Amino acid sequence: MEGVKNKMIKKMSLLSRILVLPMLKDAEGAIITMRMVRKTMEEIGLNSKEYKEAEIKESLDDKGNRTGALTWKPDYPDKDIEIPEPVIEILKNSFNKLDKAGKINFNLLGVIEKLFPEIIEKEDVKEEK
């Protein structure tokens, strides 16, 4: 993202991209921040080529109804995503809100541990006290 000085490259799995995308969808902020969020969402989101390469399929129950669960090739490679600092802060705040509400599940825990280990380290320090 041109013009943004503070940005990070994060290696994101398909699962982390799927989980993070809705968190950005609900973001609010100044125009410039929201333009960064939109650009990041475009990078995180799957294009038709990736969708096909990952062999994404929606699971069906025994009656043939969609379950909402997705499957994909387990060896599908992670993608380097460039995330500007304001978007990083939005994500960290979202994770912190979910944490305070007791709504972190194992999938989100894995995303947080990989993308933002400093959040986990801060929680580990609190536990030690």
Is 117 inside a domain boundary? yes
Is 75 inside a domain boundary? yes
Is 1 inside a domain boundary? no
pLDDT band at 122 (very low <50, low <70, confident <90, very high): low
Is 102 inside a domain boundary? yes
What is the number of structural domains in the chain? 1
Domain extent, residue 113, equals 7-62+69-128
Question: Model-level pTM?
Answer: 0.79
The tokens describing 5, both together, are 């000085």
b/e per residue 103-119 (b: at least 16 CB within 10 A): eeeeebeebbeebbeeb
pLDDT of residue 88: 93
Inter-residue contact 70 to 18 (CB < 8 Å): yes
More confident: 121 or 29: 29
Is 15 inside a domain boundary? yes
pLDDT of residue 115: 87
Is 2 inside a domain boundary? no
Is 112 inside a domain boundary? yes
Is 88 inside a domain boundary? yes
pLDDT of residue 7: 81
Q: What is the mean pLDDT of the chain?
A: 88
The tokens describing 8, both together, are 């990070």
